Amino acid sequence: MSDKGELDLTGAKQNTGMWLVKVPKYLSQQWNKALGRGEVGKLRIAKNQGRTEVSFTLNEDLANIEDIGGKATSISAPRDHPFLLQNVGGQTLTVFTESSGESQTDEKSDSSNNEKLSLEGIVVQRAECRPAANESYMKLKRLQIEESSKPVSWTMQLDKAVTTNYKPVSNHQYNIEYDKKKKEDGKRARAEKQQVLDMLFSAFEKHQYYNIKDLVDITKQPVIYLKEILREIGIYNFKGPHKSTWELKPEYRHYQNEDKSD
């Protein structure tokens, strides 16, 4: 007994031999369509001149293939499938099954279900289930190849030009204006702070209020750099009749009057 569940070695004790068989994809898909435990086909094992011959015949009710790659179709799958027998090749291959069952432990147990792992047997024969190369198989294979070779996207020639309300443009206007503004700011070289202060004080001697655009035109300085200096000496009006404008702080607003009084 392990922490995760129980290991059943009945198959190993009984030395059960099993076959490992590779089947075509379409065959396994048709098997899945069988209802409940319905019959999927018949397996025939015979001896021919001392050689073992194995073949599988698909049930006629499961031979109809309704779609390939999501596309509706109505073809019949090959029914006859001879086996190509192969040696195990010195390998030790085993088959396990996993199931879950209710535990009979107390309610305080950490888990109410235990996983059960069973060793069903040891692989003694490998084989490959191949469809007989008949007309049904060739038709099925051709449709599968055609479906897989279809391109994901394709081009289409239009008879007339497409006219819509929204036509593509190489660049939108707001992008052009932003790039222009960014280019202009990049061309402006930062002047010495004192030189910018002199230009601002000189401007505010003429007018009390300025918007940022006018101050940029006067000083020829980048907007970000100019705002850093304005925050030190000015006040930005968020409301009132002079909304969105700058003016000098009171301590700088009357500095010329004080000089004149002296």
192 shares its domain with 124:
no
Does 73 map to a domain? yes
| pLDDT, tens only, 66-93 | 766 666 677 778 888 899 988 887 778 8
224 shares its domain with 125:
no
- Indicate if the pLDDT at residue 105 is higher than 60: no
| pLDDT, tens only, 16-46 | 788 889 988 888 888 888 877 778 889 999 9
- Indicate if the pLDDT at residue 245 is higher than 90: yes
Does 120 map to a domain? yes
pLDDT for residue 256: 46
- Indicate if the pLDDT at residue 259 is higher than 80: no
Does 196 map to a domain? yes
Does 67 map to a domain? yes
132 shares its domain with 34:
yes
Average pLDDT in the chain:
79
Does 154 map to a domain? no
How far CA 2 is from CA of 95, 131, 143, in Å, comes to 19, 43, 50
Q: Do residues 136 and 90 lie in contact, with contact meaning Cβ atoms separated by under 8 Å?
A: no
Residue 71 in 3-state DSSP? strand
pLDDT for residue 165: 59
- Indicate if the pLDDT at residue 135 is higher than 70: yes
Residues with Cβ < 8 Å from 77, sequence gap 6 or more?
A: 26, 27, 30, 58, 62, 63, 64, 65, 136, 140
Higher pLDDT, 179 or 244: 244
**Host domain of residue 87:** 7-100+115-136
What CATH number does residue 228 fall under?
1.10.10.10
123 shares its domain with 42:
yes
pLDDT for residue 69: 62
| pLDDT, tens only, 163-203 | 665 666 677 787 788 777 767 665 667 889 999 999 999 99
- Indicate if the pLDDT at residue 4 is higher than 70: no
**Number of domains making up the chain:** 2
